Structure 1
């Protein structure tokens, strides 16, 4: 795994690693080096996981080598990975990738050396389809895996389309909710706000390419929304914070707040009637799963994986496309039915609990044991 900062896509493999440790299995991780140790990685090390790190930025010589001699570059990287894997007897490898745009050069030797491995893919969409030159390597990488795990049916179908073939070794698993146990079970839930108007909460990294926060601002800039008591709070950090703040200033939207990163998810939902996430592409957003568990309806786009868990008009609202026009139409329906949002949120909580396992990380760990350990 390569990471710049810890994100939702790391939650699944991290939780599975903890469960594998609890079974007495030897677990090791090879991740990109962050500027400082994340609490999650420190947590793994405390459990006995051997954590190793790789610099996130290549040296100038390696970057030049990648451009001028890609085969030699791949050989050098494969040598590094072989060295790490060589410290284990009969290793089994789980590769977690944010998308198939990641660099798989270091992993080419896995199937060549008959090292069994599984792949977790967190996001896929035409917006992030790989170029033609990468297809052969990706196809080999996926076809030779023991399993390819997707976090949504939408993503599995999307990858099969750009490969032009069915992946018979693929299956869909759930992303986990990072909530305290009492909130996951429904034993307790945040208070629904009694304030008038409509308060929107958008919990996502500030990345308009994926999450589409700019569409919220463009929608709220319409005259009819300026005349209504509607507010939006953006939670999270990312590469487009300043860009979105500039857009809000330019559009003269004075009822948007950038609240930054927060770890108390239940507390933030006490301030909002409705979740909104107009993603251009998605895996399976943890923020929507968590909002549903906490009794909030969500407005999401129908063209990505969020639509697999949000039922239009029952547990939330679907915008037909990631456009301001479609978002305006869906938000209008939410406004008209704002008195029903608590009831819809209650339905969302029941729905998500009935559909997903109590502990998706434990489920993944069990599948990995079935796939790898039981075969030896």
Structure 2
């Protein structure tokens, strides 16, 4: 298949480092950035573990001219001997490719690439922070910030996807203000603008069983503890008790699935709260939903919220981290305090009982995403920042 991207002019060489454990917003952003760089004529290289996952397969299927180096040793677990092997693997690639710019995402790859790029004297050393990596104030986050301080001394510059994360890192004394920059993530708006198609029974539980007029609520994301799907199940249990036409679906995959299956079983509503697993065609997913929720402990610039807004599906989210930079509660969505399932239930109840309540909100959501979170604008800004700041 030929690539849909045509280079404009020849430019310099950029290496992207990204780890894919489960498909998520960061994975999609890596692919979109690779497209944007190729469109600028930049020689683009990927170091990842993602040969057989969504990222590697999508690069291959689109014929994107990205040179790839894959290693199965790149994963989330911290094993000292394995990390040394990965470090040598990265150094070997850097010495061979001689990049002008390196951009890493993910805590472990940021650390390894920061050291490798310093040893190999790569002119432009960058790390992109899409989430803090641990709950605010936690011991783990303090250790991550300590690592970032060390990398900043090695010349790493930071890009954050929310002003909240930037402020937190500045408060943590990570680096000088001119060495950390905010560029929000963006999504391809047009893909989600027309959500006419519905899910089939193969990809969504109870699609055939849902009666006409059913109100469908979804939560999209990786099934991991920090996403707080347990709050979503509490919300759905309360709503199912009140409204016989309400259905809920968890959309995503991850290690927390067995625990969440037990919670659904305990709710007593296994016929109305289900798990769709991983769904590749997200515009089609939003085409089947009337409302979405994102309960989470910490977040940067969540793609699921932006996608829901672009599709005109009202969204409610926990007011944590940078969420307030996306949602203005009562205008283009709803924000609730972290863990306030009762407050969330009251808001969703109001939506269910008054369908017209969200009509203007849906349009406001579409408008704000189009103005502020269009992928073409954001990725151009990110690519230009990388290419224009390639000296440490």
2:168 is equivalent to residue 158 of structure 1: yes
Alignment counterpart, residue 11 of structure 1, candidates 28, 35, 47: 28
The alpha-carbon distance between structure 1 residues 259 and 211, as it changes in their structure 2 partners (threshold 3 A), is same
Of 185, 190, 200 in structure 1, the residue corresponding to residue 196 of structure 2 is 190
Match of 1:70 in 2: none
1:236 to 229, 244, 252: 252
Moved more, 126-135 or 139-148: 126-135
Contact 1:206/1:239 (<8 A) preserved: yes
Moved more, 105-114 or 233-242: 105-114
Contact 1:302 1:321 in 2 (8 A): yes
Aligned to 1:306: 323
In 2, the alpha carbon distance for the partners of 1:326 and 1:167 equals: 37
Moved segments of 4+, more than 6 Å = 191-194
What's the C-alpha RMSD, in Å, of the aligned pairs? Answer: 3.2
| Residues in 1 aligned to 2:351 and 2:154: alpha-carbon distance in whole angstroms | 46
Shift of 1:194: 11
Query: What are the residue-to-residue correspondences of 1:69-88 with 2, within 5 Å?
Result: 74=84, 77-88=86-97
Q: Are 1:325 and 2:342 matched, yes or no?
A: yes
Given the alignment, which residue of 370, 373, 376 partners 2:388?
A: 370
TM-score normalised by length of structure 1: 0.82
Match of 2:269 in 1: 253
Once the 2 structures are TM-superposed, how far is the Cα of residue 345 of structure 1 from its aligned partner?
1.0
| Aligned CA distance change for structure 1 residues 268 and 14 (closer, same or farther; 3 Å) | closer
Tell me, in whole angstroms, the C-alpha distance in 2 between the residues paired with 1:112 and 1:95.
16
Match runs of 1:1-376 below 5 Å: 1-35=18-52, 38-43=56-61, 46-56=63-73, 63=79, 65=81, 74=84, 77-89=86-98, 91-97=100-106, 100=107, 104-105=111-112, 107-115=114-122, 116-124=124-132, 127=135, 130=140, 132=142, 135-142=145-152, 144-145=154-155, 147-163=157-173, 167-178=177-188, 181=190, 183=191, 186=193, 188-190=194-196, 196=213, 198-207=215-224, 209-222=225-238, 225-228=240-243, 229-254=245-270, 255-357=272-374, 359=376, 360-372=378-390
The DSSP-based 3-state class of the residue aligned with 1:6 is: coil
- Runs of 5+ in structure 1 lacking a partner? 67-72
Taking structure 1 as reference, are residues 219 and 356 closer, same or farther at Cα in structure 2, changes over 3 Å only?
A: closer
Q: What is the rounded CA distance, in whole Å, between the counterparts of 1:341 and 1:141 in structure 2?
A: 46
Counting matched residue pairs gives: 356
Q: Distance in 1 between matches of 2:95 and 2:264?
A: 52
Q: 1:312 to 1:366 in 2, by over 3 A?
A: same
Deviations along 1:155-204, one digit per CA (max 9) or x if unpaired, are 2223334447664322221323256x3x45x5x45389995463212121
What stretches of structure 2 of length at least 5 have no aligned partner? 1-17, 199-209
Report the CA distance between 1:277 and its aligned residue: 0.9
> 1:257-303, CA deviations, whole angstroms, 9 ceiling, x for partnerless residues?
21222233232223222111111111211111011111111010112
In the alignment, the residues of structure 2 paired with residue 144 and residue 213 of structure 1 have an alpha-carbon distance, to the nearest angstrom, of 39
